[in-house]
Structure 1
Amino acid sequence: MNSQISDKKNETRAKLMNKLLPYLRKNGLQSVRMDEISRVMEISRATLYKYFSTKEEIVEFIVDGFIEYMKELTHNPLDSVQSFGTRFLQIFEQTISLVVYFSDIILQDLETSYPDLFDRFNEAMKEREEKILAFFEEGKQKGIFNQLNGRLLIKQDEILRGMFDVKFLMTNQFTVQQVLYDYFQLKRIQLFKPEKLTAIDDEVLMPKIEHLTQKVTKNLF
């Protein structure tokens, strides 16, 4: 029974956090107050305190949630070209989510005000990077990926922060969906050898792109 109550509470906490994250992405962590948080979550302060005792608890819930999300990177055997395509798509989805939710202002506030949580988040990011590098290396060894520097491919994802900017999108008349689709194609062409590009079917890709478009748009506008 206690387990069911705990699961229900965590489910509600996650739903409340989904309302809060777009606001934090734009406004950061440092200056936001509990009354502001309850307003964004559309609940009373009394209800908020039933789920989170302090702002620090909220920040910890966010960081821990994303650390668990990063750990979800599958360890399924890579026994076919399609399995490499599936893993690559999962990495792409994670990358977009991490870039969207952990904006520069959130990362700066985390480092300044919550250094322990910042260190934990950074450590999880490093572990994720090592998994991705191992994935790239295995793909190269099996003749599926081009012989490219994996760390440069990962570093390249930092340009997404500038691309997911309302001013950038409007100035260049880009849609979020166009940016996501074109960037995915760029990464796929760079990584997969020409004869292996069919590892990800567009019928599988497009629903993922549409889902990510909704997620990104919700956090930008």
Structure 2
Amino acid sequence: MRKIAPDERQMMRKTYVKKLIHVIRTHGFLSLTIQEMARTMNLSRASLYNYFSSKEDIIMELTNLCIDYINEAGQTIFNEELSYSLRLQKVFEQAVLSAVYASDIYVQDLRKSCPHLYEKKMQAKKEQLSIIYTFYENGMKAGFFNELNISILILQDETVIEKLVNTSFLMEEEMSLKQALSDYYAAKKIQILKHEYVQNTENENINEMVDCILKKLTAV
């Protein structure tokens, strides 16, 4: 087999671990064997070891992928040169992708089996929540957002979006994920933005924004 260049190997590591996200977010990873992981990644067990040294190495790559996204999104949310409307969309996108990348069962498995990665993930989440909290706080001080309990806003997103990305819930309610996310964001805007700013964003294409999020999810 040809020698794999370091940059190509790293890119392929990210590509392969993304294939595991759905099964890990719904079932965790403690019970998964290397053989099952290889099958989900469409690799032979021998080929898997061209990219990963162990099961923990796979979980480390997945955790780093999640943290990298959190950091990238945080930079956008923290960028005061961007409008509050645009950054509110990024807060929403981050909440959706975080629900997919880091479900409760995945985080609990991480805590049990990889405490060092769990601590790294929790530190990233702490920084993520701090950035979001400051964003809402500044938006309220600037008169752009309604005066609301920020901790409850954050909890609301975590709770509702975790439910919305659940396939069983969508089937029960006969909703597509696109409809669920679009309707939730439309309600979120009315809740958070002051009336005059809601009117100013009436022509905002929520469907286009949600399509962009769904496109990122299809890459997962």
**For the Cα contact (< 8 Å) 1:99–1:161, is it kept in 2?**
yes
Could you tell me which amino acid in structure 2 is paired with residue 153 of structure 1?
L
Q: For 2:204, which of 202, 205, 209 is the aligned residue?
A: 202
Relative to structure 1, the CA distance from residue 59 to residue 200 in structure 2 (aligned partners, 3 Å threshold; closer, same or farther) is farther
Distance, in Å, in 1 between the alignment partners of 2:202 and 2:136 is: 16
Shift of 1:163: 2.8
Question: What is the CA-CA distance between 1:206 and the residue it aligns to?
Answer: 2.0
1:47 maps to: 47
- Which letter maps to 2:105? I
**8 Å contact 1:85–1:200 — kept in the other structure?**
no
Equivalent residues of 2:164, 2:181 under 8 A apart: no
Alignment of 1:129-140 (within 5 A): 129-140=129-140
Partner of 1:160: 161
C-alpha change, 1:200 and 1:138, in structure 2 (3 Å) is: farther
In 2: Cα distance, 1:30 partner to 1:146 partner: 43
Deviates more, 1:64-73 or 1:193-202: 193-202
| TM-score computed with the length of structure 2 as normaliser | 0.88
Q: CA deviation at 1:76?
A: 2.2
Look up the match of 2:97: 97
What TM-score do you get using the length of structure 1 for normalisation? 0.88
SS in 2 for 1:60: helix
Give aligned-pair identity as a percent. 34
| C-alpha contact (below 8 Å) 1:139/1:145 kept by paired residues | yes
Of 25-34 and 68-77, the range deviating more from structure 2: 68-77
- Give 5+ residue unaligned stretches, structure 1: none
Deviations 1:102-121 (A, max 9, x none): 22221221121112211211
Task: State how many pairs are aligned.
Answer: 212
**Cα distance in 2 between the residues matched to 1:178 and 1:38:** 34
- After superposition, the C-alpha distances for 1:142-174 in whole angstroms (9 at most, x for unaligned) are 110111111110011222222322222122212
Whether contact under 8 Å (1:63, 1:121) holds in the other structure is yes
Counterparts of residues 139-178 of structure 1 (less than 5 Å): 139-157=139-157, 158-178=159-179
Contact 1:86 1:200 in 2 (8 A): no
Structure 2 Cα separation of the partners of residues 174 and 183 of structure 1: 12
**1:18: Cα distance to partner?**
1.8
Cα RMSD, aligned residues only = 2.1
Is 1:190 the counterpart of 2:191? The answer is yes
Identify which range, 207-216 or 95-104, moves more after superposition. Answer: 207-216
1:115 alignment partner in structure 2: 115
Instruction: Determine which of 67, 76, 79 is the counterpart of 1:76.
Output: 79
Alpha carbons of structure 1 residues 97 and 166: separation in structure 2 relative to 1, 3 Å: same
In structure 2, how many angstroms separate the alpha carbons of the residues matched to 1:104 and 1:47? Answer: 30
CA distance in 1, matches of 2:202, 2:66: 26
CA distance, structure 1, for counterparts of residue 43 and residue 218 of structure 2: 24
Range 51-60 or range 170-179, more displaced = 170-179
Higher relative contact order (CA 8 A, sep 6+): 1
